[in-house]
Each structure stands twice: as C-alpha cells, then as structure tokens.
Structure 1
Amino acid sequence: MERKTDDYVDHPPEDTLNTLDTDPDQGLSEAEAARRLERFGPNEIQEREEPLWHRVFRRFWGPIPWMIEVAALLSALVQKWEDFAIILVMLLVNALLDFFQEHRALNALKALKQGLQGEAIVLRSGQYRALPFRELVPGDIIRLKIGNVVPADVQLLDGDYLLLDQSALTGESLPVSKKTGAVAYANTIVKQGEMRAVVVNTGMHTNFSSVVSLVSRASLKERSHFQKMVMQIGNFLILITLALVLLIVMVALFRHEPLLEIARFALVLTVAAIPVALPAVLSVTMAVGAINLARRKAIVSHLTAIEELAGVDVLCSDKTGTLTRNEMQVADPILLPGQSEPDLFLCAALASRLENRDPIELPIFRYLDEHYPDVDWRSYQQRSFTPFDPVRKRTEAVVSRADDRFLVAKGATQVLLEMTELDEARVAEVNRQVDALAAKGYRTIAVGRRRDGEPLELLGLIPLYDPPREDSREVIEEMQRNGVVVKMVTGDNLAIAREIGGLLGLEQRTIRSAQLSGAASNELLALVEALTTAIYRRLKGGVPFKEARRFASEVMEEVGRLYDTRLLEREFLHTHESAIVEMIEEVDIFAEVVPEDKYRIIDTLQKGDHIVAMTGDGVNDAPALKKADCGFAVANATDAARAAADIVLTAPGLSVINEAIRQARITFARMKSYATFRIAETLRIILFMTVSIIVFDFYPITALMIILLALLNDIPILTIAYDHTRVHNAPLRWNMRELLTVSSVLGLTGVVSSFLLFFVLQEHGVSEDMIRSLLFLKLIVAGHSTLYVTRAEGWFWERPWPSPLLMVATFGTEILGTLIAVYGVMITPVGWAYAAWIWLYALAWFFVNDVIKVLTYRMLRREGAVD
C-alpha cells in the first residue's frame, strides 16, 4: 500500500480506491482506521528535538570554555576564591547569553508541524464527521472546500474542480486548477471549488515532508565563520599558553622553587592568556547590532547571523511575495477594433464575483474602480453564474439592467475565440498578441459579450502580472553597489521570471530547474537521444510511425535502466563540482525551481566559497533559508519560513536588508577591533611575564595585579559594542592571517616597550616592588590606548572618531588604575610624579604603535593578505 504520492498522478481514481482498499461511499471503518494509524503513524511531522541538557552542556564544550574551566579549577585548587569567582562569572555570562539567543529562535520543525494542525471532514463508516488532521490515514475519504488547508496528499474523486494556492509550497504566483483524478498536496489552500478526495499519503510520507527533511538536513550546517574564528583564536592562544607555561614550570623546577609558587604563577599565566571575556564581548557586540536592527523592523533570531551578513557576497531571493507583491495587477489591455476599455472591464467584472476573492478577478474590480469610477457595475444583476472549471476554462454570467439583458464570458483566449465568428486573419492576430504577452510572462484573459441570437463578440484581452514591490529595484541596485550579487530563485515559469528580472534590473542569464537538475547527466542524455534517433530512423522506413516511436521510447527506457542515471549524475557532480559552481555563479535568474533546487543552489554556492543570504516567505523557502549563511523571512512569511530564518523582517519590502548589511558590517568592524586588541594584550602580558621569569628571574606583576588587569581591561571594553566605525562598501570576512599578524606585531611591540621601561627603572635603582606597581600602571594605560590603535586600519585620527561612551569607559578605568597605583591600593604606591611619567611614556608608544600598525597593514596588502 505504501507508494509515493507522485505515483498517483494521472492514476484512475477507481484504481487508487482499489489499491487503498476503501469504499468511496462508506469510507474506512473505525477499526480499520485504527489499524492504519498504528501502521502509518499520525498525520504529523515527526521531529527529533535536542534535549535541554545537551543544549546547555555544549555551551561549556570547546577550546575556550576548556581553558576557562581549567583556570577556574586551578584557582579552586590553590584556594584563590576571588579568581575562581571572577572566572566562573565570565563563563556563565557567556553561556547564558548564547543559550538565551538560541532559545528565542523558533524551532523550524515545530512550525512545520503546526502546518498540519486543524480538522478535516472525514467519511468513516458511512458518516461524515470532523477529525483532527493527525488522525487521518491513507484510504480516508474527505471533503475539501473553499478556505480549507489540504491536510494530506490526496487524489480528487468527484466534484467540479478545485482552485489551489500552491505558492507557499512551490512558489507559483497563480492558483492551479485541479480536477477529478489530479493529486493535491498537503499544506496547499483551496481558493475555489468543492470536491471529495481520498487520502493517499500522510505525515512523513507526503511531498510536504520532503521540505521538512531538507530543513532537518540544513539544521546540521557547519559552524558559522564567527564560531570558526573564535575557535582559531582559542587554539592559537592555547598553544602559546601551554608552551610558555610548560617552559616556566621546567625552569622553576630546575631552580628548585617551591611547588606551590610554581602552581601559583602557572595559574596567573594561564588566567592572563585566556581571553575569558572574548566570547561574551563578541556576543554583546552582536546583541547590540541585533537591537539596532530591531529598531528598523528586523528581528534577529540567531546572533551569529549578524557576523555572517557582513560577509555575504551573494543574495538569493524568492520572487513571489518577496521581490513582488504577490498581488496580480492589470497591464495595458488590448482592445479589438470598435471596442472601448470601459466596456471591456465592465463585462469582465460582470463575469466575475467579488465575494469569491479570486486573485484573478480582484485586480479587474480594482482597475475598474480606479480608472472608471463612473461605470456602475453594481447596478447590473447576475441572473445566472457559471464558475470557472478546468474543462470549460471560462466563467459565464447572464446579467441584466432594466430591459438590457446579455451574456458575458471571460477565460482562456482559445476557448472564447472558438465561440466567435472572427475571420482567420483576426484570429491569427489575436493569437499572435497572446503569444507575445505570454513571452513576457503575462497571464492573459479574453473577455466577450453575447446578446440574444448573436455570436459572441470578443471585446479584448486583459493581461495580468505580479508586479515588483516599489523598492525592489532600488534595493537590488544598492546591494550591487555594496558588492552583493543578487540572484532571483523562483518557482514561476521562465517567461514570468525573465520579465520580472528585467523590471528589477537583473541581467537575463536564466536557467530552468530541469536544466539545473539535469546538468550532471547532459552527456548521458545526449548519448541516449542519439541512440534512440538512430533506431527511430532505421525503423521509420518499414514500420508504422506509432510502432517505431513506441519502440524507440522502450529502447530509451531500457538504456536508462541499464545505466543508472542517478549514479552517473552523482559521479559527474563529484568530478565536475567546480564547473557546476561556475555555472550557477553565472546565472542571474533560476526559474521553475522546487525546494530541493533552492537548497542545492545555496549549497553549491557555499561550496564555491561564497557566503550566501536567502530571502523568502513560503514553506518551499524554509530549507534554503535554513541552509543559507543568513536567511531572511520577509513580512507576512509563513511560520515555517520565520522559524527557519535567522532574521525576520516585520515591515514590507526588502529595503531593511541593506540597512541590515550596513549594521552587520559596522558590528563586524567592532568585533575585529576587539579581537585584535584582545590577542595583542594577551601576547603582551604572557610574553613579558614569561621572558621576565625565565631570563631575569623576576616576577613583573603579582597575581592580584593580574586579576585587577582582567577586570580593568575586559569589563569596560564591552562599550566597544557602541563604537563608531567605518562602513565598508564590500563584503567582510575574517582573515586570520591578517588578524594574527597585526595583533602579534602589536603584542611584540608592547613587550619591547615594557622591557625598555623595566631596564630604565632598574638602571635608576628603583625597588622591585615599585617596578611592579609602575609596570602595572603602564599595562593599564598602554593597554587601553591600544584599543584606539586597533579600532581602524588607518591612522588613529581618521574619521569616524571614537564614541563618547567608549572614551568615558576606557579613560575612566585608566584613571581608576592610576589612582590605585598612586595611592597604593593593595599595591606599592608610586606617587603622582612617577604616574605622570608613565602616562607620557605610554602616549609616546601609542604613536609608535599606530605607525607600526599602518606599516603592517601596508605590508600585508602588498603581499595580498588583506583585501
């Protein structure tokens, strides 16, 4: 009984009923339905939810968490409870920030599951009754009518027709007509009509479940570039820390120093090397960016999306409802000779019903009210009305006003032409006009009128299209100026996609879904086609045409079975991946795509080292939104799209995306500034301490000073999240070579400045305790000064200047550190004279550091290490 839904397409309903062993007049018995529910499971999306304990636990797993946890453990072992408390608070704050942001995000599978909730009218044991969607089983007979959500994959049994909105599932902008024998898929919406249907597949066996499986697969996407960067910084500092701590321990043991002292200073060095606040500061920086976006009607579900958005160089956008309004609009109508536009739209409106809210008919009423408000169509009465159906392909109505009575019709042009008595030349001209409109992607409706005893009079043609949003073209142009390539990915047909793409300013390099999915097997198909053609030509001479054609088709099928096309396609994809990436890079518009195609396009671009953003609004967009590095769900998106997206837009249009990119690049610059500062400062302290201990047998700062440095350095630096930064006009990425080179050079420069001060103080006979206090003050003042060096690649005085909040926080802690050193709070006092000299010394090195930074960036640019 278990078959794919597509196996029932064009399958006679009688055979389907026999296959499913169900009676169309009685339905299933309760006992049989219970057995099938046990066999097939509930009609719902099954999900595997990550346990709460696992979500919490993984926040404490990884190189930087390990370093922090080891430091906390060592602090507890040597009973340094103040150190232990500070380190533990930093660890918990970072974990809770990350957990809270993830908790805010909706779970995509839960939202998709909700798409199947509701009740259906089901025939059981000869009686119709309402049952929850989840209780449906294959073989159930159900009724579908206007407004219903199709609860499972079904085959239509009887009734006039159904007009189904499949846009959320396929991306098609227009409803699709279905008649007896056709298959309707789960989660589509009935816009018109009423029919009975038999359920053929439920739950995870529906076509809708393929979207769910793609979302599940996309949920397993790799770590973000931000997470990879934090891991690389952690690994870099871990290696240095382990090497230097091991070196210190070996030297201390060789000198026969007390074991407790060795452990103590090993701990101090470890704490100094760990960027305890790095993840927290970067998370807060991104959170501030998320708050700024929220003010502009963009809700961030995943913080790392902000960092990813800064590097986005390709935006794949759905068309229907995203770049366009998802609201049909009348284009320039075409009138036949002797006809008027008011008459054309009057008759079109009279052949419609406003209360049906048909998306094809609503724009006709709007056009009539806006352009011809004096035409009183409401004064006419519909004496009879025949709705559209897939067989007749037209609507008809008999209308009257006073003594005037006539028939109006609208529908497929070919159908109405057959009802007229136009000459062949006129018919050919009308068909040519329809073909021209179709080539531009327009849906064309013909309108006619007939009075008693006369043939149908064709009045003209009304072209319809889904127009772009007012801001879409401007948004795309701005993205292109900012280095982002925009690609349209739509389920609509090629002509519509190309026409809308032209209106939006996209280049016309276009490809169909079939070309995309078949790219890998083109060579095989060409071979099979050549073989079939050869056989066909040989047989054509002596065998009847139909038999030759049938035999050729059988040969093609046999060759297809003999050579596993899918296997060859996988091998082709593996060996020609770079060629496929290049092909997708060159295409601007992808038409007639399905969810799997959107997912494949995103995946292929990512394999080509692109950072990809995706916009969409439907269930069909959810897998691609989840797979993308940054997924945008536009206003009025489905729950599934919102849950899968990283950023949810709450205002119509896409203009906020450019603001989001701008905010992301600002946030990225802030994070880069802090990361460079933090690595440089860590290297300054760890290298200075290691060399001092090993070479000079001198402990330059105490454990208490290390804790004070950690507090005075990291906590105020949170204000970097509010700093002013330059907005780059090109995508930004983490360049670890650049980051580590610049920060290492600045770190080594700091070590040199510290040793120079140390030698000068020793030369002047300053006591060791006084030297430690002065070095502590120098590390505080020079450390925060370094932030003003790292916040930009150019000279420190270039705009934009630092934010007032950053300056208050950094200078405030420098002054606090100065007061601690001057008055000797828990350390040896230095007095104001020495403090003034330290400030002048740090200021001089500040200028030296800025020169070295600029020269380092120039060197890296010459070597091609900086974009």
Structure 2
Amino acid sequence: SEKAEAIRIAEELAEKGYRSLAVAVKEDASFRFTGLLALVDSPRSNARELIESIRRLGVEPKMVTGDNALIAKEIARQVGIGEKIVKGEYLRKVSGDEKDIVIEEASVFAEVYPEDKYIIVKSLQAKGHIIGVMGDGVNDAPALKQAELGIAVANATDVAKASAGAVLLKFGLEGVVDILAIGREVYQRALTWIINKITKTVQFTLLLAIGFFILRYDILSLLGMTLLVFSNDFATMSLATDNATPATNPNKWEVKDIMYASSILGSLLLVEGLIAILVGSAMYRFTLQQMQTFILLIMVFTSQFRVIIVRERREFWKSRPGKELTLSIASVLAVFIVLGTSGFMLTPIGLDKTIVALTYSAIFTLSIDPVKMRIFRRFGIM
C-alpha cells in the first residue's frame, strides 16, 4: 500500500540520518499524500575528532535525543559515540537496578521524553558518576540543572541557559573541551595550594618544636615569624595564576591520600631544617641572633623552592611557573639575600653564609623531586 511504502522509504532515509516530512495536498474535505521531504542536520565536520578528544580526557560521551532510533544510530556512528541504543519506550518499562544497568551500559538514548533525560542523569549519579549535560531547549532544563556540570550551547533558550552552570559563546563542541581543561587546571592549582599548605605546616611546626628542644631557645624570633609569613604569602597568592597542566583523567578529591603524601613530603623537608640547625650550631657556632637569621633564611628559601616542586606532579622542570609566581619567588629570594647580609631588620651572617643557605636550600629541596614523584604516584595524586 501507499502508506506502507512511505513508511519503508522513511525508515530507509532514517537509517542514513535523514528526518522525513510527509507532504499532502488538500482535495475537497480530505488530504492526498504526495510524497516525502528528506531533511538532514549533519554533524559538524570536526565532531568525531572532538568526541575523541573528550574521550581521551577520560569522559565517556552519551547521546540522548528525542529523534527516531534509526536516525540516532546513524548520527552516533558518524561521530563515533557508539551503537548500543536504548529506546525511551524500553527505558520506561524497566525499573530498579535493571534500569540503572541499562542506562550505564547504553551509548545512545533515542525517542526519549524530557523527563527521561532527568532520570538518566539521576541514575548515573546514583552509580557514582560525575555528570555533565549539554543541551539547548526548555526540555533539557531539568537535566541541565541536575547535572554537576550543565552546559548550554550558544543558541540555547533562556530557560536552558538559566539552568546551566556554563554557557558556550561559540557553536560546536570545542567549548566543552575547553571547559574540561579549565576545570582541571583550577583543580590542579587548588591541589597545589593544599599540598603546599600541609607540607609547610608539618615542616615548620616540627622544625620549630624540635629546634627548641635541641638548642633550648626559639630558633625563630617574633620578627622572623612575621617575615616568614609574609614571604610565603606572595608565592601562595601567585599560585592562583600559575601555569597548571590539566590531568588526562578526571580528578577526584582523596583527602586522606593528600594528607599522607603532603605529610611525608613535609617530614623530608624537616630533615633539611634539622641538618641546618646542626651546621649552624656545630660548624659555624652562630650566636642566638645569627642562628635565628640563618634558620629564617633556610625556611624562606626552602619555601620558595618547595612551591616549585609541588606545583608539578611530574618532574619540576616539565612546565614553567607563571609570570607572577616566577616574579614572586625571584623577589623574595633577592630581598632575603639583602636582609641576611645588610643587617637591616636581621642580625647579618655575611654574604658567604647567606649564599650557603640559598644553595643548600635549593639543592636539598630540588633533589627530593624524584621522591616527590614516587610519593604522588603511590597515593594517586596526578
């Protein structure tokens, strides 16, 4: 029959990614079918490449659409998403654990209703996944709102944009890759700040306590503590604009592992300070005030070089520090070299001893970089 033939042709077109629009002509009180119009909304030429880029970042893309399953299958094939398709009709029939398994294993969801999109997001979240949703219409708003990261495309409706956490300013998927990279860069900067903070706290607290029991006096004066805090603050603030290398896989906060790794690193740097105390008291036979200057310089110099190694998960020379961080470190080193030799604010220990403190801090701190890498790998800090 004419109807069956039209359906057959429409299905053939759907298998090639075409939508079919039936055309009829009104004749008296009825309509006469005259043919089909094939409509196509082809993926962008770089869509497949961008999907692969997203997948290389450890993110598994899924396609959710209200289109016919045959159309969805062809589009998914063209862009490389996958061909394991679940229809909305089947999704609404199953429930419980079976539904969660179906949703997790599927690559493409076709012929879905707006509420199905929300259910898909909730189900994946219940399985422990972090979800990002990209959409443009009013029917995408609930899913955009529910997802950890809702992304509205450039031509999205106002409702979709209001529900999303990010809005793309350009058409295409390029912005998604940029969002993932920027998010991971921010994470790396925050992680560096936390590692540096914990390492510094362990190192300085134990050094001041043990140093007091060894020498029977405070190894850092009140003025020295103030200068130490200020010198550290400049580098710490500069981390906000530092060059960060985004991880190739999704990051996850593991507070316990971060604590363990940072504490071990701080303990290693503690040894550096203890050796400096022994050198200052036994070899150089510093006075109280000279020892306080020497230890202050060691702690300040070590802090600058510590930032250099903890900011990078690989070898410290794999990436260059940001301009602000480089300027901060160079300025602090220069200022404290002057303070250690001039006698301004601090008891001078001479240029030779100041250079010894600088060189010793640099060699010791940078030399533990291979150990740092092993520690980070052991605790999964990447």
Q: Name the one with the larger helix percent.
A: 2
**Structure 2 CA distance, aligned partners of 1:841 and 1:753?**
9
**Structure 2 CA distance, aligned partners of 1:829 and 1:504?**
68
Show the 5 A alignment for 1:598-613: 598-613=117-132
Superposed displacement of residue 605, structure 1: 1.7
Which one of the candidate residues 761, 771, 789 is aligned to 2:280? 761
Superposed displacement of residue 785, structure 1: 0.3
The residue number in structure 1 matching 2:177 is 658
CA contact (8 A) 1:441 1:497 kept: no
Q: Cα gap change, 1:612/1:449 in structure 2, threshold over 3 Å: closer, same or farther?
A: closer
User: Is the counterpart of residue 498 in structure 1 residue 18 in structure 2?
Assistant: no
Superposed displacement of residue 671, structure 1: 2.7
**Structure 2 CA distance, aligned partners of 1:834 and 1:435?**
84
**Structure 2 CA distance, aligned partners of 1:589 and 1:812?**
55
**Structure 2 CA distance, aligned partners of 1:693 and 1:812?**
30
The residue number in structure 1 matching 2:233 is 714
The residue number in structure 1 matching 2:116 is 597
**Structure 2 CA distance, aligned partners of 1:748 and 1:442?**
66
1:354-385 residue CA offsets vs partner (Å, 9 max, x unmatched): xxxxxxxxxxxxxxxxxxxxxxxxxxxxxxxx
Which one of the candidate residues 14, 22, 29 is aligned to 1:445? 22
1:282-322 residue CA offsets vs partner (Å, 9 max, x unmatched): xxxxxxxxxxxxxxxxxxxxxxxxxxxxxxxxxxxxxxxxx
The residue number in structure 1 matching 2:9 is 433
CA contact (8 A) 1:635 1:649 kept: yes
Q: Secondary structure at the match of 1:678?
A: helix
Q: Cα gap change, 1:493/1:433 in structure 2, threshold over 3 Å: closer, same or farther?
A: closer
Q: Cα gap change, 1:444/1:833 in structure 2, threshold over 3 Å: closer, same or farther?
A: same
The residue number in structure 2 matching 1:616 is 135
1:391-419 residue CA offsets vs partner (Å, 9 max, x unmatched): xxxxxxxxxxxxxxxxxxxxxxxxxxxxx
The residue number in structure 2 matching 1:792 is 312
CA contact (8 A) 1:717 1:810 kept: no
Which one of the candidate residues 474, 480, 490 is aligned to 2:55? 480
CA contact (8 A) 2:154 2:168 kept: yes
Q: Cα gap change, 1:844/1:438 in structure 2, threshold over 3 Å: closer, same or farther?
A: closer
Q: Cα gap change, 1:587/1:441 in structure 2, threshold over 3 Å: closer, same or farther?
A: farther
1:819-856 residue CA offsets vs partner (Å, 9 max, x unmatched): 22322333322221210111121122123321321332
Q: Secondary structure at the match of 2:61?
A: strand
TM norm structure 2: 0.87
Of 752-761 and 603-612, deviating more is 603-612
User: Is the counterpart of residue 672 in structure 1 residue 248 in structure 2?
Assistant: no
**Structure 1 CA distance, aligned partners of 2:235 and 2:194?**
15
The residue number in structure 2 matching 1:853 is 372
1:525-549 residue CA offsets vs partner (Å, 9 max, x unmatched): xxxxxxxxxxxxxxxxxxxxxxxxx
Any stretches of 5+ residues in structure 1 without a counterpart? 1-423, 451-455, 521-572
Superposed displacement of residue 495, structure 1: 3.6
Superposed displacement of residue 438, structure 1: 5.2
Q: Cα gap change, 1:462/1:840 in structure 2, threshold over 3 Å: closer, same or farther?
A: same
Superposed displacement of residue 767, structure 1: 1.1
The residue number in structure 2 matching 1:771 is 291
Q: Give the letter aligned to residue 310 of structure 2.
A: T
Superposed displacement of residue 600, structure 1: 2.4
Q: Give the letter aligned to residue 795 of structure 1.
A: E
1:448-484 residue CA offsets vs partner (Å, 9 max, x unmatched): 799xxxxx99864322244334443332222123221
Q: Give the letter aligned to residue 817 of structure 1.
A: F
Q: Give the letter aligned to residue 433 of structure 1.
A: I
Q: Cα gap change, 1:696/1:652 in structure 2, threshold over 3 Å: closer, same or farther?
A: same
CA contact (8 A) 1:488 1:589 kept: yes
TM norm structure 1: 0.41
Q: Cα gap change, 1:715/1:460 in structure 2, threshold over 3 Å: closer, same or farther?
A: same
Superposed displacement of residue 632, structure 1: 0.8
**Structure 1 CA distance, aligned partners of 2:251 and 2:128?**
13
Q: Secondary structure at the match of 1:637?
A: coil
Which one of the candidate residues 354, 373, 381 is aligned to 1:835? 354
CA contact (8 A) 2:341 2:351 kept: yes
Q: Cα gap change, 1:621/1:775 in structure 2, threshold over 3 Å: closer, same or farther?
A: same
CA contact (8 A) 1:448 1:460 kept: no
Q: Which has the higher contact order (CA 8 A, sep 6+)?
A: 1
User: Is the counterpart of residue 516 in structure 1 residue 91 in structure 2?
Assistant: yes
User: Is the counterpart of residue 628 in structure 1 residue 147 in structure 2?
Assistant: yes
Q: Secondary structure at the match of 1:599?
A: helix
Instruction: Say which one has the larger Rg.
Output: 1
CA contact (8 A) 2:312 2:319 kept: no
CA contact (8 A) 2:48 2:79 kept: yes
CA contact (8 A) 2:18 2:38 kept: no
The residue number in structure 1 matching 2:270 is 751
**Structure 2 CA distance, aligned partners of 1:617 and 1:626?**
12
CA contact (8 A) 1:821 1:828 kept: yes
**Structure 1 CA distance, aligned partners of 2:369 and 2:114?**
51
The residue number in structure 2 matching 1:563 is none
**Structure 1 CA distance, aligned partners of 2:301 and 2:39?**
69
Q: Secondary structure at the match of 1:486?
A: coil
**Structure 2 CA distance, aligned partners of 1:694 and 1:581?**
60
